[in-house]
Structure 1
Amino acid sequence: MESLNVNLGDRSYPIIIDRDILKLPKTFEQFVAQKSKILIVSNETISPLYVDRVKNALKPSNIPIDTFVLPDGERYKNLNYFGKLISFLLENHYGRDSILIALGGGVIGDLVGFVASCYMRGIDFIQVPTSLLAQVDSSVGGKTAVNHPLGKNMIGAFYQPKAVIIDTEVLRSLDNRHFYAGLAEIIKYGIIHQNDFFEWLEANINRILAYDASALQTAIQISCQIKSDIVREDEKEQSIRAYLNLGHTFGHAIEAELGYGNILHGEAVAIGILIACRISVNKNLLSENQYLQILNLIKKCNLPHLTPKQMKSASLFWKHMVLDKKVLNNKIRFIIPVKIGSVEIQNNINEEDIQIAIDYIISS
């Protein structure tokens, strides 16, 4: 098994990446040892596919195992289901020596992580992401949260898992749309951190789209390594971790305005990346040629590249962005690419800048 390490002192943990590892007892044994109970939390789509596989791998531990299955969808990442999961733990006498396993995409990982951070003031949990987006982004770094009708991920905590277990084989069960959505986050890493990674993506995107195992594993490993390095340096998002929000300030506004689940997170992020890039071009920072490189890669990944017709006005973005977690001293912080492989934080972007970018994207 390939393994990376998120180095956070006594809260460090491994990211284990390989094919067909969910069925192996050795994948889990060191993390569940000495636990009194295990709860696998999944959703109605993923549970029939992988819960039994994980249960069988856990059987040699002889630890009691329960399952908790949620409906599938972003709309269920809320305080209502947070409360339902807490109630299940209490009613079934889960103690501090229990462990939760988040088996699913970003919704499951975020919700389970937040429950783990709060229940009895903190119990252990393992991330087992089953979507590409969760594998390269939300499962790593300890951001846990639920949504509020006024904003995405507005209620949560920084709380690190005991391990992230990534089985690349599970990606074959994703529908194309969800697979493409995960590619938006991978493209983001190429833009914010490594020009050579972006170039590698351009050269290998057809292999990735064809589910080539080697190319997929490389893309996931590099993405996780970049995020791990950033989290190690800035766990609580006081400085460079904000770079990971490229496209997200705009993307979260799209999700909130359209309604959670009506557009996938990765799809909204792809549009958000292009808005941020276009603003940068208009400010004579990012070159037109590099903007087109980014646009072409997003198009190759079958991701949306036009602003939703319901959001032609910058004011619709602005009303959501002023509630964003990244507002500091009453100023919205935007992540703006200055070239492929480098971004900067700016707080001087106004509604007019956004409107000009939107107008260009709609007309292009």
Structure 2
Amino acid sequence: MRSAASFKLGLSHSADTDSAWKVEAVKQVEYHVIAARNLFSPENTQLLDGCSAAPLTRGDRRLVVIDSNVDRIHGDRIRGYFEHHGVAASFVSMRADETVKEWSSVIRVVDAMNGFGIDRRREPVIAIGGGVLLDVVGFAASVYRRGTPYIRIPTTLIGLVDAGVGVKTGVNYGMGKNRLGTYAPAIATYVDRAFLRTLDDRHLSNGLAEILKMALIKSIDLFELLETYGQRLIDDNFQGTSAELDTAATQVIAESIHLMLEELQPNLWESCLERCVDYGHTFSPTLEMEALPALLHGEAVSIDMALTSALGFLRGSLSSDDLDRILTVMKRLGLPVWNDVLSTAGVLDAALADTVRHRDGRQRLPLPVGIGGHHFANDVTNEEIASALSLLARKNTGLPNGEVSVTKVAS
């Protein structure tokens, strides 16, 4: 990925008739993604000194916004950590899922920041939770006093590899997925697999969808790791209970993060709208909102990837064997390739039309080229989508235990 933007600095003044000024400036951005192990063990000091841009010392105070489910499971341990290190932490425990990913949740965080009397330069808010919580807190921090620093500690797999590593924040508005949002990087994200110990299989699969996305468009090696170890990593909750599984878990997460950052870094502000990381995100925002709350984000992305893989096959960029291989891996990872929302009249046409508006009047639709490659299409027709949908429906019924995939999502 190369950015389409060119950067200039300066101030120019024209006084031919009335005066006019032109200001050109660039803001330097730096943020850190740091691998951690057992971040909240009392002897672990990474949160204190692991990032020079966000030091934490005895006597400091912090506002901590935590997902209520995470608080129920890990809250005592996390509070004990701050007490052990002499940090006065004030906790806000809040529900965070797609049904409450809305403006009112942002206001609740803003109210907490205001009540805390936060120092906008020296007291970064700490967000602990899944992708929804990170998005909500990031958005609130970005608008409070026009920008307050924050730190992300993701507790789900999708948070570790996706929501926690980019710069976008946002909440849903109406039927629009992430329709309100900002570009606001956290100072630091601490990636700790220990939180995955208590995550259920469905949410592990949810995160694996975003990892699979990066594999399908950028890395056959990562795909083969998922093909070989995916189910075993789910069974092991990514905890590395053997040397082999520890190596596999580390490689899968690290490679996924690296591939994502490799694409994001030159194009953080999306000046170039041809983004391969949008694979699986052409139809999925509409599908997810239409099916809410039946589909998790990664499940909607998986269905989108299955559909566009079928489209790639029909267009000749993906072989029949590769298509079957992709769909089989999705099934092994516990991901759906179908949901009844696909049968809703006009839903895919409407999804593509909304995406075209989002992508400045063109489809810019990432499609797989084999496994590990991609190209962009701008001429996909509604008839092609219907043909791909028909093919996917036939493939779904032919997959081993294919119906379980649908039932799981519907539940």
Which residue of the partner structure matches residue 78 of structure 1? 102
Question: How far 1:9 moved relative to its partner?
Answer: 9.2
Which residue of the partner structure matches residue 243 of structure 2? none
Matched, 1:11 2:42: no
CA deviations 1:253-289 (Å, max 9, x no partner) are 1111112x32111111111101111111111111111
Which residue of the partner structure matches residue 23 of structure 1? 41
Identical-pair percentage: 27
- Aligned in 2, Cα 1:167/1:114: closer, same or farther, shift over 3 Å? same
Q: For 1:226, what is the secondary structure of its paired residue?
A: helix
- Which of 281, 297, 308 is residue 248 of structure 1 equivalent to? 281
**In structure 2, how many angstroms separate the alpha carbons of the residues matched to 1:279 and 1:193?**
18
**In structure 1, how many angstroms separate the alpha carbons of the residues matched to 2:233 and 2:273?**
28
**In structure 1, how many angstroms separate the alpha carbons of the residues matched to 2:149 and 2:223?**
35
Which residue of the partner structure matches residue 319 of structure 1? 350
CA deviations 1:302-353 (Å, max 9, x no partner) are 11112x2232156212324433487334233311111211112222112222
TM-score by length of 2: 0.81
**In structure 2, how many angstroms separate the alpha carbons of the residues matched to 1:329 and 1:280?**
23
Indicate the structure (1 or 2) with the bigger Cα radius of gyration: 2
Amino acid at match of 1:248: H
**In structure 1, how many angstroms separate the alpha carbons of the residues matched to 2:116 and 2:273?**
41
Which residue of the partner structure matches residue 117 of structure 1? 142
Matched, 1:153 2:184: no
Amino acid at match of 1:243: C
**In structure 1, how many angstroms separate the alpha carbons of the residues matched to 2:30 and 2:375?**
28
Matched, 1:169 2:194: yes
Q: Which runs of 5+ in 2 are unaligned?
A: 1-25, 241-245, 396-411
Q: How does 1:280-291 map to 2 (within 5 A)?
A: 280-291=312-323
Which residue of the partner structure matches residue 158 of structure 2? 133
- Which of 201, 209, 213 is residue 226 of structure 2 equivalent to? 201
Amino acid at match of 1:176: D
Amino acid at match of 2:286: A
CA deviations 1:146-202 (Å, max 9, x no partner) are 111221111111111111111111111111111111111111111111112212221
CA deviations 1:190-222 (Å, max 9, x no partner) are 111111221222122243123251122221111
CA deviations 1:214-236 (Å, max 9, x no partner) are 12222111111111111222212
Matched, 1:346 2:377: yes
Amino acid at match of 1:68: V
**In structure 2, how many angstroms separate the alpha carbons of the residues matched to 1:254 and 1:236?**
25
Question: Contact 1:129–1:139 at 8 Å: present in 2 too?
Answer: yes
**In structure 2, how many angstroms separate the alpha carbons of the residues matched to 1:347 and 1:82?**
36
Q: Which deviates further from its counterpart, 193-202 or 53-62? A: 53-62
**In structure 1, how many angstroms separate the alpha carbons of the residues matched to 2:36 and 2:124?**
23
What value does the CA root-mean-square deviation take over the aligned residues? Answer: 2.2
Amino acid at match of 1:266: G
**In structure 2, how many angstroms separate the alpha carbons of the residues matched to 1:70 and 1:153?**
19
**In structure 1, how many angstroms separate the alpha carbons of the residues matched to 2:147 and 2:382?**
41
Matched, 1:333 2:364: yes
Q: Which runs of 5+ in 1 are unaligned?
A: 1-7
**In structure 2, how many angstroms separate the alpha carbons of the residues matched to 1:190 and 1:240?**
20
Q: Which deviates further from its counterpart, 208-217 or 352-361? A: 208-217
Amino acid at match of 1:317: L
TM-score by length of 1: 0.91
Q: For 1:322, what is the secondary structure of its paired residue?
A: helix
Question: How far 1:237 moved relative to its partner?
Answer: 2.3
Q: Which deviates further from its counterpart, 193-202 or 172-181? A: 193-202
Matched, 1:361 2:380: no
- Aligned in 2, Cα 1:54/1:12: closer, same or farther, shift over 3 Å? farther
Question: Contact 1:313–1:355 at 8 Å: present in 2 too?
Answer: no
